[in-house]
Amino acid sequence: MSEERGGAGDSFEDRLKAARSRRGLDAPSSGGSPWGIGLRVGVELVAALVVAVAIGYGLDWIFGTRPILTAVFVPLGGAAGVLNVYRLFAPKRGEGGGAHNG
Told to check if 59 binds another protein by CB under 8 A, we report no
Choose the stretch contacting another protein; rule: CB under 8 A; options: 18-26, 49-57, 62-70: 49-57
Shortest distance, CB of residue 27 to another protein, whole angstroms? Answer: 11
Q: Work out whether 43 is an interface residue with another protein (CB under 8 A).
A: yes
27 near another protein, rule: CB under 8 A: no
88, 41 contact by CB (below 8 A): yes
Q: Is 59 exposed, middle or buried (0-12, 13-18, 19+ CB in 10 A)?
A: middle
Burial (CB < 10 A; 0-12, 13-18, 19+), residue 66, is exposed
Describe the crossing of helices 66-89 and 34-63 by its angle, rounded to 10 degrees.
150
Site track for another protein across 78-97, x = CB under 8 A: -xxx-xx--x-----xx---
- What is the distance between the alpha carbons of residues 84 and 102, in angstroms, rounded to a whole number? 10
Give me the residues that bind another protein (CB under 8 A), please: 1-2, 36, 39-40, 43-44, 46-48, 50-52, 55, 73, 76-77, 79-81, 83-84, 87, 93-94, 99, 101-102
